Structure 1
Amino acid sequence: MKPILDFVLKKFIQVGVLRVTFSDGTVHIYRGTKPGLEAGLHLKTKQAERSLVINSGLAFGEEYMAGELSPEGCTLETLMRVLMANIMEGGHVFEEIEDRLRYFARPLKGLNSLKKSRRNVAHHYDLNGRLYDLFLDKDRQYSCAYFAHDDMTLEEAQTAKKRHIASKLKLDRPGLEVLDIGCGWGGLALTLAKDYGATVVGITLSKEQLEEARRRVGEEGLEGQVRFELMDYRNVRHQFDRVVSVGMFEHVGKAQFERYFRGIKDCLRPDGIALVHSIGRTDGPGTTNAWLQKYIFPGGYSPALSETLAAVERSGLWVTDCEILRLHYAKTIAEWRKRFDANRQKIIDLYDERFVRMFELYLIGSELAFRLQGHMNFQIQLTRSVDALPLTRDYMYETEHKASEV
C-alpha cells in the first residue's frame, strides 16, 4: 500500500510541508505549492499505511490511539493543522469518495431512536465524572463559553454564557416554568432558579449526569424549585413558559430536526420563548468525521443554519433572534486543553494511555474545526407568537448588563 499512499500524499499536500517516515524507515517529503506549516508523521506499521489508504477519516484517529502512527518532530496540533489545512484546500480523490459516502449515509446515521439516543448519550456523558472535573470549569459547563472580554477566565466566561442565555429567555418575573432540554450536570438550571427565580425541569438521557444534577439540587437547597428527570425530549407532555437547550441539538440527528422543533413548539405556552444553543457549520450541510462518529459522539451531527432554519420554518415557530458565536468555542476548548494537559497523568491513572490519546485528539481536532474549518456556535431564539417579545433587543442588553453588575 505504500506506493498508493505515496501517490495520494503527493496529490493531497498542497499547503505547507509534510515529512513522512514510512514503516520501512524511508522518509518522503511532500511540499505544497502554497506556504504553510511543516509537520512530521511517523507511520510505524504497514497496517497503518494500509488503513490510511482504505479509510483515512477513520484510520488516522484509530492508528494514533493504537500508537501505530505519531507526530514526528512536531506536536500533534501542528500535524493536524497541516492535515486540516490541506483538507480545506480540497483534499484528494479518496477523501472526496469517503465524504460522499458519509453524506449519502446521513439519513441512516441520524436515525436516533429513543433507545439509540440513550445509548449514544451514555457513550460520552456516562464516563467517570472525575474526568470532567479535571478539565471543565467548576460548574461543569460542557459547551461553548462566552468571552465578553479576552482576559476572562474559563469560569468567568461560562458564567457570562449563562447570563447571555438568560437575557434571551427574558426571565422578567419569578416563578416562570422553564424546561432545560439536555440539562447536563444541572449548572444552567440551578443558575436560572437561584439568580432569576425560575422553576426549572431539566431532562437528560445520562444517568451519571442525572445523579450529579440531583445531588446538586439538594446541596443548593432548591428541592422545591428545580427537579431533574431521565427523559427524552420526545416524551415531554407539559407546556412551559420558557424552553432552553444548550449543546443538545448536535445530538438530535438530521432525521429528527423537524421533530425536535415541533417538540419545542408543543412544549411552549402560546406566549412562551425558547433559546437553542448549538454547534453549527458555515459551509452548508455536511457529514460527521467517521472517527468522531465512532469514538466520541455516536449519532452526533453539527448542523448548518440552512437545514436548521428550514426545519424551524416547517415547525411554525418564529425565529425572533439569531446570533453567531465565531471563535468563542475555540477559546473554550483551548482552556479545556490546558487543564487536560495539566492533569494528563491523573487521567491516565483513571483510564489509560489509549483513552488519553483519544481524548486529546478529540479536543485538538475540535478546537481546530472552529479555527480552520468554519465551525461556529449559533443561538436561535424562538417563539410561537409574533408579539411574544419586545420589538427591539434592548431588553437583552439591559438584563445582561444588570446581571453582570451583581
Structure 2
Amino acid sequence: MTNEQFFQQILDYADVKINGDRPWDIQILDDAVYDRVLEHGSLGFGESYMDGLWTCDAIDEMISRVLHAHIEEKLGIATKLKVGFKAGKAKLKHLFNAQSIERSSQDVPFHYDLGNDLFEVMLDKRMTYTCAYWQGKHGAEYLDEAQEAKLDLVCRKMGLEPGMRVLDIGCGWGCFMTYAAEKYGVICDGLTLSKEQAALGQQRANNKNLPVNFILQDYRLHTTEQPYDRIVSIGMMEHVGPDNYHDYFKAAFSLLKEDGIFLLHTIGSPESKSEADAWIHKYIFPNGVIPSMCQIGGW
C-alpha cells in the first residue's frame, strides 16, 4: 500500500479526497507531506501547509470534517501499526515536568508578552481573554457587554460581598479583579507570570484607585498570612499540566478559608491527555493541555 492509499483510507472517514474536485478536498503538491504527517502528526500537517506542500480551497470545512471524524486518533492508531510505536521517546517525555516552575516562567511570556497593543485591539475594553457569556437571544449584543455578563456571573456564583479578600490565579490583565472591585467592593490579589500583563493591569487599576494588587509569581510559590475568602481561576488551568493538577488544587485550597469558595473556569476535553498537541505547543500555547472532567475530579 502506498502512502497516498494509506492516507486516503483514513480520510475516507471524513469524506475528504486527496486531489479531489470538491472545495474541502486536499490538493497534494508534494508527496513529502505523507512522511511528515506520519512522523510529526498535527505539527507535520500544519508545517507542510506552511511550506506549500498541500493546499485546500475550503480549509475550514476540511478541518471541521477531520476533527468531527477523529482523524488524528485514527491516524495515530494506524501509524503505530504502519511505522511502529516509538515507546522510548514517549516514555522519556513523561520523565520531565513540562509545566515546571522554571518552564512556566518561559512559556507564559512566549504567548502573552507579544505586546499589549495587539491584545487591546482584539479583546474587549477590559481585555478579557476567555469566553464571553451571551445569554441567548435576550442577552448581550456586543462583546463588551457579553464579557461583563460573564464576569458578573462569576461574581454572583462566588457570592462576593464588600471587603472580601479574593485571589485570582492567572489574572491576566486583571479584568475580573477590576470588575469585582468596582462592582462588589472586594480586595483582590492577582497572580500572573506575564510582565506586560502585570504592568498594564496594575496601571489600569491604579488609575481607578481600586484595591487591586498584581503579583508576578507562580501559583506554587504564593503564600499569605491571612487566607482568602474567595479564589478564582479563569482560563488558567490549561497552562497547569497533568503532572501539576494535584499541586494546583492543593495550593488553591491551602490559601483559602475553611468556609471559602474556589471557582474554576476552564476549557474541557472529553479525553484525558498527558501532553500538549505538538502544533499548539510550538505555535500557540507552549505546553498547554486542556484537562478532562476525570482529571479535574481525580486530583
Q: TM-score range by the shorter chain?
A: 0.7 to 0.9
Whether 1:78 and 2:67 are equivalent positions in the alignment is no
Aligned to 2:277: 289
Q: Decide which moves more: 276-285 or 90-99.
A: 90-99
Distance 1:105 1:297 in 2: 21
Q: Is the 8 A contact 1:137 1:154 kept in 2?
A: yes
Q: Is the 8 A contact 1:16 1:38 kept in 2?
A: no
Distance 1:17 1:227 in 2: 53
Identical counterparts, % of pairs: 31
Distance 1:285 1:53 in 2: 20
Q: Could you say if the C-alpha distance between residues 284 and 146 of structure 1 is closer, same or farther in structure 2, counting changes exceeding 3 Å? A: same
* Local SS of the residue matching 1:279: coil
Return the offset for 1:115. Answer: 1.3
* Local SS of the residue matching 2:233: strand
2:12 aligned to 4, 7, 14, which one? 14
Aligned to 2:176: 188
Matches within 5 A, 1:107-122: 107-108=94-95, 110-122=97-109
Q: Is the 8 A contact 2:229 2:256 kept in 1?
A: yes
Q: Could you say if the C-alpha distance between residues 108 and 193 of structure 1 is closer, same or farther in structure 2, counting changes exceeding 3 Å? A: farther
Aligned to 2:151: 162
Matches within 5 A, 1:164-243: 164-171=153-160, 173-222=161-210, 225-238=211-224, 239-243=227-231
1:270 aligned to 247, 253, 258, which one? 258
Gaps in structure 1 of 5+ consecutive residues = 21-26, 31-36, 312-406
Distance 1:306 1:237 in 2: 28
Q: How big is each residue's C-alpha offset from its partner over 1:300-330, in whole Å with a ceiling of 9 and x where there is no partner?
A: 111111111111xxxxxxxxxxxxxxxxxxx
Matches within 5 A, 1:352-391: none
Return the offset for 1:99. Answer: 9.9
* Local SS of the residue matching 1:119: helix
Aligned to 1:257: 245
Distance 1:114 1:217 in 2: 27
- 1:43 aligned partner, one-letter code: I
Q: What is the root-mean-square deviation in Å for CA atoms of aligned residues?
A: 2.7
Q: Is the 8 A contact 1:15 1:85 kept in 2?
A: no
1:41 aligned to 9, 21, 26, which one? 26
Aligned to 2:44: 59
Distance 2:103 2:2 in 1: 38
Distance 1:221 1:213 in 2: 12
Q: Is the 8 A contact 2:11 2:71 kept in 1?
A: no
Q: Is the 8 A contact 1:189 1:226 kept in 2?
A: yes
Q: TM-score, normalised by structure 1?
A: 0.65
1:143 aligned to 102, 121, 130, which one? 130
Q: Could you say if the C-alpha distance between residues 70 and 138 of structure 1 is closer, same or farther in structure 2, counting changes exceeding 3 Å? A: farther
Q: Could you say if the C-alpha distance between residues 127 and 270 of structure 1 is closer, same or farther in structure 2, counting changes exceeding 3 Å? A: same
Q: Which has the higher strand share?
A: 1
* Local SS of the residue matching 1:235: coil
Q: Is the 8 A contact 1:241 1:273 kept in 2?
A: yes
Q: Decide which moves more: 195-204 or 59-68.
A: 59-68
Give the number of aligned pairs: 291
* Local SS of the residue matching 1:14: helix
